Amino acid sequence: MRTLLSTVGFLFLLLLSHNGGLTGATDAEHSLRATDSHTHRHRRHHGHRRRENFEYSALSCRAYSASLDEFGAVGDGVTSNTAAFRDAVSQLSRFADHGGSLLFVPAGRWLTGSFNLTSHFTLFLHRDAVLLASQEESDYEVIEPLPSYGRGRDTDGGRFISLLFGSNRRENGTIDGQGEPWWGKFKRGELKYTRPYLIEIMHSNSIQISNLTFLNSPSWHIHPVYSSNIVIQGLTILAPVTVPNTDGINPDSCTNTRIEDCYIVSGDDCIAVKSGWDQYGINYGMPTKQLLIRRLTCISPDSAVIALGSEMSGGIEDVRAEDIVAINSESGIRYVIKNTPVWLCLVRLNRNKTCRIKTAVGRGGYVKDVYVRGMTMKTMKYVFWMTGSYGSHPDEHYDPKALPVIQNINYQDMVAENVTMPAQLAGITGDEFTGICISNVTITLSKKPKKVFWNCTDVSGYTSGVTPEPCQLLPEKQPGTVVPCNFPKSPLPIEEVKLQRCNTRRRHM
């Protein structure tokens, strides 16, 4: 099997650093981008290496650079380049404290097993470069579950190490997960461990992933976890809409994250915001907060454009989403919290929602201060979907008294066409979802809508300028006048982060 591997190596590095094997991961600046053949060329000429300089935008410029083919790599899609990647990263790691380094991957199809990346490092892909990761399970180390989850998602045991990390420029390099064999093993119940992700970034600061195409991950595509100051922009993520768990981008226990200008087609949530599972997430206590999502286009027939939960036991707060386009998706923003077997959860994903909140008794944690505006939706099963009865538990040791807090949820300036049911809003008896505001929303129903347009239980708040008429638990505020929701006026810190203009007219190895 071949798949792209840059995150796998990156995750391995971070784990080693966290355990003391390497240093600098928590303060590392990492980026992944691609360039085109007109701006970067490398070849040997009369016994000398010759490179043309190129420019790129990045959080941090690098002082040193090298090309993968300098280390004996062959981009024929057949030859294993694991040793070349490992040698390149090892050589470049010595520049971590001297301005950092950039590894350029030329055009070609580069097959590789897992390898470690390093601190203050950029993996730069040519627009015609495709990273292919081995599809053999033996090429993926089995590592421990995340401490905020307590077990793997697919199985009770560990998980296969993830795949890639790098950065891009104007035109896309490609990372192809070739996940079909993994999907088949998962469906047949043949996996002993949880499927690998394409990219997983742990315990890191200052991360950039930009202008890349990601295809067919075995499971989630991009998973930053326990990290901060993250910029994800200009990505195209494509997976079959019939394959579960192929989420696009899943920020998990992360602070100060910006996701923008992305196009995602997925068999699961386009973006799923998480922070740990039941007692493990509660004990780890690291929320996802200060998250900005803007200019996103999502196609997800069986799931949500943006999901909050269901693994949200560490808390989710201060999430802002704007300028979102949803096409043929199950729901818009989804909030979910429940206690059902995993197989049932997969069946229940067969609905399109724009935004959904997912949680459950035993989850604990909170989802609060969520602000969504400027959404355009076409062909939706639900526009709004919240549930307090979603998801499985990692084991029998969860606390059934750990109730989630859902409050201050705001939706404004939204238009939806061809909708089966405007809203399914179900809180938890004795644990009401509070402070819901829905303002200036127009929903046009499909030819065969549900008989009940709004189904609301255990929720409270108000609406203004919403059609069709909402449920009684969300009464209209000041009829005849559109009253806006209370959106914050100050920007998030990540909005102030600007990219630098960099070039390779510096030092080569």
CA distance linking residue 101 with residue 24, whole number of Å: 14
Residue type for 60, please? S
pLDDT band at residue 346 using 50, 70 and 90 as cut-offs: very low
Does the structure show a pLDDT above 70 at 12?
no
CA distance linking residue 377 with residue 327, whole number of Å: 6
| Residue 509 lies inside a defined structural domain of this protein | no
pLDDT band at residue 330 using 50, 70 and 90 as cut-offs: confident
| Residue 258 lies inside a defined structural domain of this protein | yes
DSSP state string for 385-443: EEESB----SSTTS-TT---EEEEEEEEEEEEEEEEEEEEEE-BTTB-EEEEEEEEEEE
Query: What distance lies between CA 416 and its chain's CA centroid?
Result: 24
CA distance linking residue 37 with residue 339, whole number of Å: 52
In terms of C-beta density within 10 A (0-12 exposed, 13-18 middle, 19 or more buried), how is residue 68 classed? buried
Query: Would you state the structure tokens that stand for residue 32, as one six-digit string?
Result: 């992944």
Closest Cα partner for 269 from 193, 352, 185, 347?
352
Taking CA atoms, 380 is separated from 173, 276, 332, 335, in Å, by 32, 29, 8, 16
Question: What integer pLDDT is reported at residue 506 of this predicted model?
Answer: 53
| Residue 499 lies inside a defined structural domain of this protein | no
Question: What integer pLDDT is reported at residue 47 of this predicted model?
Answer: 39
Share of the chain above pLDDT 70, in %: 82
* Cβ-contact 221, 249 below 8 angstroms: yes
DSSP state string for 242-283: TSTT--SB--BS-EEEEEEEEEEE-SS-SEEEB-B-HHHHHH
What digits encode the pLDDT tens for the residues 350-363? 345 566 676 777 78
Among 72-76, 330-334, 401-405, which stretch is predicted with the lowest mean pLDDT?
A: 330-334
| Residue 503 lies inside a defined structural domain of this protein | no
Does the structure show a pLDDT above 70 at 266?
yes
Helix (H, G, I), strand (E, B) or coil at 71: helix
What value does the CA radius of gyration of the chain take, rounded to a whole number of Å?
23
Among 24-33, 111-120, 153-162, which stretch is predicted with the lowest mean pLDDT?
A: 24-33
Q: How many domains, in total, are found in the chain? A: 1
What value does the mean pLDDT take over residues 47-73? 81
Question: What integer pLDDT is reported at residue 5 of this predicted model?
Answer: 30
* Cβ-contact 416, 446 below 8 angstroms: no
* Cβ-contact 450, 383 below 8 angstroms: no
Question: CATH number for the domain including 310?
Answer: 2.160.20.10
Question: What integer pLDDT is reported at residue 45 of this predicted model?
Answer: 38
Among 112-116, 193-197, 222-226, 242-246, which stretch is predicted with the lowest mean pLDDT?
A: 112-116
* Cβ-contact 219, 197 below 8 angstroms: yes
Q: Which of 69, 139, 176, 268 is catalytic?
A: 268
Share of the chain above pLDDT 90, in %: 61
What digits encode the pLDDT tens for the residues 164-198? 543 333 346 888 888 999 999 999 999 999 999 98
Question: What integer pLDDT is reported at residue 447 of this predicted model?
Answer: 95
- Mean pLDDT in the chain? 83
CA distance linking residue 499 with residue 209, whole number of Å: 12
Question: What integer pLDDT is reported at residue 420 of this predicted model?
Answer: 95
CA distance linking residue 482 with residue 440, whole number of Å: 7
| Residue 87 lies inside a defined structural domain of this protein | yes
- Structural domain harbouring 420: 7-494
What digits encode the pLDDT tens for the residues 74-88? 999 999 998 898 899
Question: What integer pLDDT is reported at residue 152 of this predicted model?
Answer: 83
DSSP state string for 330-391: SEEEEEEE----HHHHHHHT-S-EEEEEEEBTTT--EEEEEEEEEEEEEEEEEEEEEESB--
| Residue 504 lies inside a defined structural domain of this protein | no
The more confidently predicted of residues 244 and 222 is 222
CA distance linking residue 356 with residue 452, whole number of Å: 19
Question: What integer pLDDT is reported at residue 34 of this predicted model?
Answer: 59
Closest Cα partner for 55 from 32, 36, 31?
36
pLDDT band at residue 395 using 50, 70 and 90 as cut-offs: confident
Please give the backbone phi and psi of residue 166, each rounded to the nearest 5 degrees, phi first: -175, -165
State the pTM of this model: 0.86
Question: What integer pLDDT is reported at residue 361 of this predicted model?
Answer: 79
Does the structure show a pLDDT above 50 at 15?
no
Taking CA atoms, 29 is separated from 17, 165, 452, in Å, by 14, 12, 51
Question: What integer pLDDT is reported at residue 151 of this predicted model?
Answer: 87
Does the structure show a pLDDT above 80 at 376?
yes
| Residue 70 lies inside a defined structural domain of this protein | yes
Has 458 been annotated as catalytic? no
Q: Is the Cα torsion angle 155, 279, 220, 204 positive or negative in sign?
A: negative
Taking CA atoms, 263 is separated from 8, 232, 257, 307, in Å, by 23, 12, 17, 16
CB burial readout 158-183, b (16+ within 10 A) else e: bbbbbbbbbbbbbbbbbbbbbbeebb
Taking CA atoms, 288 is separated from 187, 432, 434, in Å, by 30, 22, 20
pLDDT band at residue 49 using 50, 70 and 90 as cut-offs: very low
